[in-house]
Every structure is written in structure tokens, then in C-alpha cells.
Chains A and B, each alone.
Chain A
């Protein structure tokens, strides 16, 4: 079992990304080293501009690095993307307003060319996974923000990827909804054994969800600290009051403080 869990899914060495802008080049990612193992729940945490989203976009092949090495499932990110190795959940639900909930979930499956029955079956299965049975025929505007984001998670899951990339998926939601979805996400992670990479700027969220926390700092975007969490996999919201939880939170906060340059 431990043998399987240590299989690296993502290997990143000396990764650099420089954006050429009109006046000065921006060093978005600087010498990033990181390994993500199968079954990990990894959070990228840091202030705005630290490159956490950019790093995730590099993994998803939505940005090209300018230096260093990265492999996803032993392939280049481009090959991994073409093999549909991951599901991506964006900051906003990005549902297509002219499609029903069910049709939105079927969108990637249509593109993959699956049979109609398989599409329907997967849509039903993943809607149940995010507790949205019965909403198949609704249009996105008929759903609340939290429900829309859950549909977008179901859509990412329907591809049945082993790797789930989530870019501040609950950032726009209120705290109560967010807590609820965090718990659901943990349960999902525990039952499906997927590898999850999660971008956030909330310390409690990162500590509550993760098995590994990557603390990042801006200008240039780099990794400050990588914290392995020893909290149990099946945790509930109550764990946030335990000394272990507070200790990890403290270490994350220290990392963020040391990395933050207050030059502005």
C-alpha cells in the first residue's frame, strides 16, 4: 500500500517561468522543486502573485515553462493533457449557460467521444457524488453559486481522472458553504483515492484539507516551505480545534510571514 502511495505523479525540478511584458520581464516561477505522490492532497498557499495558480497552469499545460523540467504521470504536461490525465476546476464554475446541468457534465464526455449511455451514466453518478441528484434538467442560472461550483467539480470528475487540479474552487463562496464543500471534498478524496492539487489563500482551508502544504511567496514566485501533515485522512471540521491543527497552521503562517516582502 505504501509502495503505491509513494509513486510520484508529478515531478518538478528547477522549474522557471518568465513572462515577457512590455517593460520588464516578470519572474512568475523561480527554481521550483516539488514532487507530488499518488494519493496526495497537496495545497499551494501564498499571497496573490506568488505563482500558485501559474504553477498549476503549468502542470495543466495551460502555460509553458521557460526553464527546468516537469513531468506529469511520467509524460510532458502536453502529452498528459492530450491523454486527459487530469480534471481541472477553475475559480469560477465556467458552466456553459445554454446547457443544462446534465449537458454541462456531459460536455467533456462528448468531446472524448463516449457513447450516449455512458455519458448519461457518468453524469448521474458524478452528480450524486456532489449531492445534486435531481438537478439534471436545471440550467446554471437556476442554481446557487455553491451548487454551480459543485456541478463544475462533478464535470471535472466525470472525465474520471486520477489527478484533480483545483484552482481556488471555493474562493467566491461564503464560509458556511465553503466548510460544507471542504468536508465533502475530503470525503471524496478519501473514497476515490485521487491525487488532488488545490490552490488557496486560506490557511485553515489548506491545513484542513491537505496531506502536504506548499507555502509560496511572491516576486519572484518561489517555494518557501513544504509541510507534511500528519493529520488523519478521515478528518472532520472539529479537528480545527486540536493542537496538531493549530501547530501546522502556525508553521504555515510563519512561512507566509517570512516569505512576504513588504516592499509595497
Chain B
């Protein structure tokens, strides 16, 4: 019995050593060590200042303990963020203004609306560009130019203009999110709609298929893998767009608002928790697109691009 337990224990180590978990574990551990060391380094100046002003005797051990438990640190220690996350995610009612779940919900709503609008706009633009040469030449430069304008510069203007015609709240944020995310979809879809080779197009010609038939039976299905590749990029960008849109609106709700409030009051722990929430949301969104892609493409055995 003991022997069996020992071999299985050995087996576990063997698995860790051979498998992928060990390198991942080492990388995570190294990052954590770096982070804790960084927290001590960044926060020590202010602490030593305090000690000297208060004429307190201090030891290194004291310094490290204090550096990892400051109320408004320059760089909070990971466990402080975990505590804050537990407080704001699990211990608050999700309808409370202090719950991160509530703020995430606000941001995700405008992200999803913006993403849907962006996907629609991106696909329509691509269809136009592929079918009309004039659109290809006239629209493309504007589309590219639109992406070189810093979103932080244009976001307040969008909000002012839309606010003037009575659109506030979710809509302006969704539009800024759409503005950011349609671009990769247009680019991916143009490439996808143009991906059928000469043979596949000639085949349609021998059937004397109409332009609509070529589109629905050849170009559209051929573009799907390209569409999903760009949707994955776009959904992450639309989350960024929604967060950025919350900054100049002076929003009181949403992850962007949390970031803003945190920086007003020097609540670095709150900022970091909002960042963690945002990256978890981003991962979930990209994962959701990946799952949809697998469902759509999987059956045909086609590889994702």
C-alpha cells in the first residue's frame, strides 16, 4: 500500500517534470517573486521616510512586512489585490455600487453592443470593398486614417456630439467600442472574401452562377475562418474601447470608472483589482469566440486561421 502510494507520488513528480505544468509553474513563481521584490523596492522610499519622520527604529523585516500591507502602496502586493477582489466580487451584493461584478456588467454591456455593431459595420464595409472597386479605392484610406486617430482624442468629441442629440449612457460607449473594433473585422473579411482561388471561381462561372450565388455559396463560407480570426482580435479591442470610453465620460459605473476613481483617490489596490477583472473579462470573451468558432468550423474539420 505504501509502496503503491510512493510510486504514484513519484509518478506525480515525473508528470510535473515531463509535462507542461512544471515550466508554467516556474514562470508563475518567478513572476510572483519579482512582483513581491518590486513591491518592496517601490514602496520602501515612502516607508523609510515615515520611519525617519516618526523616529522609529526599523528593521528590514519590518520594512518588508509594511511594504506588503500599505493602504495606498505605489505597487500593491498580489495578496492585497486578492483580498480586495474577494471583498468586491464575493462579499458584496452584485447589485451594489461597490461590487466589481456590477461594474464588470456595465462595461461588458457596452462591450457586447459595440462588438455587435462593429462586426456588422466591419462585415458590411468588407462586402462593399470586395464588390465595388470604387469603394475599395475611396473607403480604404479613410478606414485606415480612422485608426490612426488616438481614441482618447476623439472619444470626448463623440460623447459631446451624441449627448447633444440626447444619446447618453450605454450608446456613446458602445459606439466608441465599435469605432475601435470594426477595423480588424473589415481587414479580415476583405481577405476572407477574396480567399477563393481562381479554380473555385472558374467553377462558379462554368455553372453561370449569379453574383449573389457566388457570394452566398462561395465567398461567404470561404471567409468564415478569417472572420473568426479577426473577431478574436476585435472582441478584445472592443473591451478596451468600452473601458476607454468610460474615462472621459466621467462615468460612475463600469471598470473604467473604477480605474478613474482609483487614480483620483490614490487607491492603487482598487485600480489593480479593476485591471485584473478587465483581463479576466477579456479572456472570457476571447474564449467565448473561440468556442463559437470551434462549433461552427469544427464539424467541417477546417483549421482555424
Contacts and interface: CB of A to CB of B under 8 A. Distances in A.
A97 B207 contact: no
Interface in B147-206: 197, 199-200, 202-206
B200 A94 contact: yes
A92 B208 contact: no
B255 interface: no
B301 interface: yes
Contacts of B48: none
A96 interface: yes
B303 to A, nearest CB: 10
Contacts of B197: 94
Interface stretch (A5-13, A81-89, A174-182, A249-257): A81-89
A190 interface: no
A191 to B, nearest CB: 24
Given A91-B199, A96-B221, 18 more contacts: A61-B205, A62-B202, A62-B206, A81-B208, A82-B208, A88-B203, A94-B197, A94-B199, A94-B200, A94-B203, A96-B217, A96-B218, A97-B301, A110-B217, A111-B204, A111-B208, A111-B209, A141-B301
A60 interface: yes
A135 interface: no
Interface of A: 60-62, 81-82, 84, 86-88, 90-92, 94, 96-99, 107-108, 110-112, 139, 141-142, 159
Which residue, of A86, A91, A96, A110, has the highest number of chain B Cβ atoms within 10 A?
Answer: A96
Contact of B207 (A84, A90, A96, A99): A84
Contacts of B217: 96, 107, 110-111
Interface in B201-241: 202-209, 213, 217-218, 221-222, 224
B300 interface: yes
Contacts of A139: 300-301
A139 B218 CA distance: 16
B130 to A, nearest CB: 18
